[in-house]
Structure 1
Amino acid sequence: MKRLARTHMQNGLSVVASCIIGAAVILIVNVLIVAAVTLTFFLTGANDTGPTATEVSQALTKRGSTYTLSANMVRDLRKRNCWALLINKDGQLAWGLDVPDDVPTSYTPADVASFARWYLNDYPVSVWRHGEGLVVVGLPKNSVWKYSFTSSFAVLGGDILLIVALFFADLSVLVVLAWLFARRSWKRRDDARNEWVAAVSHDVRTPLAAVVTDASELLESPHLDNAERVRTKRIVTKSQETAALLADLNTANRLRYSMEPVDTCNVHLAAVARLVVASFLDEKTGDCELELAVAPAAEGVCIRGNEALLKRMLSNLIGNSIRHNPQGCHVTVSLDIRTGLLGLAFGQRCMLSVSDDGHGFGDVLLSTLKKKSSDELPEHGLGLVIVQRIATAHGGRASFANNEGCGCTCTVELPIAVRRT
């Protein structure tokens, strides 16, 4: 049914939204973790690899033919087991501090180009220019990972797109998995509810029918006095109301979970309205007056649906007005046609309304009826909820409102299938 599909669609969208929010939260948490780890490294000095070649170059001075490095810089280098050297413009070692024995003393331009980018004899090094040549600062072997990465903007843009695509791919997998788990949960819940309602209906129907039968037979007994007869009649009436309520509950459940057959044949709605109104008049309506008004344009209208459900819908509306106005009221059942857009035949709808001049709907009930469809059934007004679900099952909708002054009106809007000639 359309309302069931809308409800499941809303549940599905909720699952998707939850997955998107969850993925965003996970992404934010990951970014915060990376930022926190990076900040911790900087604050604790875990990423401190010692003085750089730039700092050593600035601290290295020349007096005459002698090079001097500041005492603080020497201390910092030795504290981290670093060494330093100066290569002059001729490629020869001009100065050094704690230079390992396996480090060469002369270099070609090719050597400089190689270790400036990678390693010098497996020592990770940094280089910086100096007025007398090139300063090299080395760290212990296997202490620092050094890698130079170069990429074109086209490849970098492709990598970014790949990361984004992977994120949405992971998100899609998360949504699909969540959807499958949710559908499985919904099915278990629906099956449990259907089994519970079916069991209750079966277990209660038989003893209730026995109560009605025995009370009806007792009502015909000539030995009852007036007081006992009134009480027995009340037992019959309340038992019948309970049976009707049980039937309403079962019908509402079946409509909610697409268990009721619909769209079976073309139903002449005007004929259905006359049959239902006639049945109420035959059974007496108490102090209530019942009137039927069928517009000429609606006489040949047929609705595609289930005739028994449409009768049930109209019976619930009329019965609601009569039952809640024991002091009497005027009930009007009308059937008309609403024209389509710009007065065209396309999009025409059949408008079935039941109006009375009684007490009207209570605020709580009216608020409940105007809410969107849900799995919960109200404590009161179950028959009107069934009206909503029958209308929805036939591709229409039901609206409820209190009249100005007094009374209330329910209007059921249904699509027209064919017109009888």
Structure 2
Amino acid sequence: MRGLTKMLSRYVGAAIGVGLFLLLLNFSLFIAFGVLCQKSAPETKDRVTLIANGVSRQADGSFAVSDEARRALDERYVWAMQLDEQGNVIWGDRLPEDLPRHYSASDIASFARWYLEDYPVYVWSDGDGLLVLASARSSEWKYAVTTSSFLIQQGIRWVPGVLLLNLLTALLLALLLGWRMYRAAAPLAGGIEQLAEEQPVALPVRGVLGDLSADLNRASQKLRTQRDLLDKRDRTRTEWIAGVSHDIRTPLALVQGSAAQLEEDARLPADARQRAALIRQNSQRMGRLVSDLNLASKLEYEMQPLQKILLRPAALLRTVAAEALNSLPEDAAAQIEVRIPPELGELSIYGDEKLLIRAVENLLRNSLAHNGNTVSIRLSLRRTANACHILVTDNGAGLPADVLARLRTPHQDTLPAHGLGLILVRQIAQAHGGAVLFENLLHGLCVTISLPM
């Protein structure tokens, strides 16, 4: 809903800005138009004076027009005439036939400032009488506008108020339109929030945004159907893996028990007892793989609840190292070393102890299985501002490039056919809100499990 409020405020602000911009633009255009007209057209008084000075009476009584006056006369006026003091026309230029050739004092007083036979006229008094210049009909507007000073004063007082009223009206209309849009979009925004939270959406399909609401309802229904199918598939897959794992444990236990009895039977030949030991070791390995598969499946679909307690990583590493050393064959030359800085001996974090032990054990078994019993492994602990880092480093051959690339993939959509133990390490770290970094060294492999403090 915060997005709609932001949209409404921006809409209203934009409407106000557009109104102010248009007001300023129109005012600027009005000023520019007046200035342009003022510059482009010469003053009427100057033009009439120019023509009057260019029309002169000769000694024989005729009139002559200068070139400059002729250009001004032809450019602006359609006809001209000169009246003597008695009102008679003594000279004319393009004078219409229907115009009188004599005018009384009252006629002159009537047209001197306004119109003569619908022609806008301008007059100029000179030594020969009165010069009359006429513009084309309907080319000019010549009327006197009379108003009182009270009206002008009231206009000056009221104009700012009227402009403010227009601005407030525009703002009110913008708010009204914005509020209507807000009311129409509010259910849509709420539906999008519900969709993001994986909740079912059922919006009313009316109003200007009814089509969008209907589309959102259909999208919600499709997503819900797909989610149900995915949940059912994941649940079925996890239950199937758990069932298979459970069914395999019983025969594996029988195989391990029988192989252990045969391995310890002194009456059997040495080669038979070695084959029994091999059967026992591989059945144990198969049991660990089945257990890893079951746990990886539960972690992948978030069906494995974490039993977090306050634990000490230093003690956990020492315990895992001791158990790994005790399980090594007597003739093995592998070395497992634990290096804990003194200041980190009492460091505590919250985590699932069994899962973290499982992760470190998987790393140890991986180093031993792929590098032989002569590998040297070091378990160490490091701390940064917000995380505790468990490092498992060996001097073996490292990981193949394809396996390293797969382990660095952020999301593993399917359980891998190989490297399940390492994938499980990553899943355990992610379940704790942490991460795992796999790095090939110049001689060996370093795996860093980072857990939040």
- TM-score normalised per structure 2: 0.53
1:191 Cα deviation after fit: 1.6
Q: What residue identity is the alignment partner of 2:265?
A: S
**Aligned to 1:243, which of 246, 266, 287?**
287
Q: Distance in 1 between matches of 2:222 and 2:341?
A: 52
> Which residue does the alignment assign to 2:434?
396
> Which residue does the alignment assign to 1:362?
400
**1:198 to 1:167, Cα distance in 2 relative to 1, 3 A:** same
1:401–1:410 CA contact under 8 A, matched in 2: yes
Q: Does 1:412 align with 2:412?
A: no
Q: What residue identity is the alignment partner of 1:381?
A: G
**Aligned to 1:306, which of 348, 352, 362?**
352
Q: What residue identity is the alignment partner of 2:246?
A: H
**Aligned to 1:316, which of 362, 383, 398?**
362
Q: Does 1:290 align with 2:290?
A: no
Tell me the alpha carbon deviations over residues 86-137 of structure 1, each in whole angstroms, 9 at most, x when there is no partner.
xxxxxxxxxxxxxxxxxxxxxxxxxxxxxxxxxxxxxxxxxxxxxxxxxxxx
Report percent identity of matched pairs: 35
Q: What residue identity is the alignment partner of 1:335?
A: L
> Which residue does the alignment assign to 1:334?
380
Q: What residue identity is the alignment partner of 1:177?
A: Q
Q: How does 1:48-127 map to 2 (within 5 A)?
A: none
1:176 Cα deviation after fit: 1.0
1:203 Cα deviation after fit: 1.3
Structure of higher RCO (CA pairs closer than 8 Å, 6+ residues apart) = 1
Q: Structure 1 unaligned segments of length 5 or more: list them.
A: 1-152, 340-347, 417-421
> Which residue does the alignment assign to 1:165?
209
Tell me the alpha carbon deviations over residues 277-328 of structure 1, each in whole angstroms, 9 at most, x when there is no partner.
1111222372221111112342222221211111111111111111111152
Q: Distance in 2 between matches of 1:173 and 1:362?
A: 49
**Aligned to 1:203, which of 228, 231, 247?**
247
**1:156 to 1:308, Cα distance in 2 relative to 1, 3 A:** closer
> Which residue does the alignment assign to 2:296?
252
> Which residue does the alignment assign to 2:391?
353
1:298–1:350 CA contact under 8 A, matched in 2: no
Q: Does 1:261 align with 2:299?
A: no
Q: What residue identity is the alignment partner of 1:183?
A: R
Q: Distance in 1 between matches of 2:389 and 2:242?
A: 34
SS at match of 1:358: coil
1:264 Cα deviation after fit: 2.7
**1:300 to 1:168, Cα distance in 2 relative to 1, 3 A:** farther
The root-mean-square deviation of aligned C-alpha atoms, in Å, is 2.5
1:168 Cα deviation after fit: 2.7
Q: What residue identity is the alignment partner of 1:359?
A: A
**Aligned to 2:232, which of 173, 179, 188?**
188
1:167 Cα deviation after fit: 3.8
1:227 Cα deviation after fit: 2.0
> Which residue does the alignment assign to 1:276?
320
1:250 Cα deviation after fit: 1.0
Instruction: Please say which of residues 196-205 and 367-376 is displaced more in the overlay.
Output: 367-376
1:236 Cα deviation after fit: 0.8
Q: Distance in 1 between matches of 2:177 and 2:413?
A: 51
Q: Distance in 2 between matches of 1:370 and 1:267?
A: 28
Structure with higher Rg: it is 2
**1:218 to 1:263, Cα distance in 2 relative to 1, 3 A:** closer
Q: Distance in 1 between matches of 2:313 and 2:177?
A: 68
Aligned residues: 255
1:298–1:335 CA contact under 8 A, matched in 2: yes
Q: Structure 2 unaligned segments of length 5 or more: list them.
A: 1-172, 186-205
Q: Distance in 1 between matches of 2:340 and 2:214?
A: 59
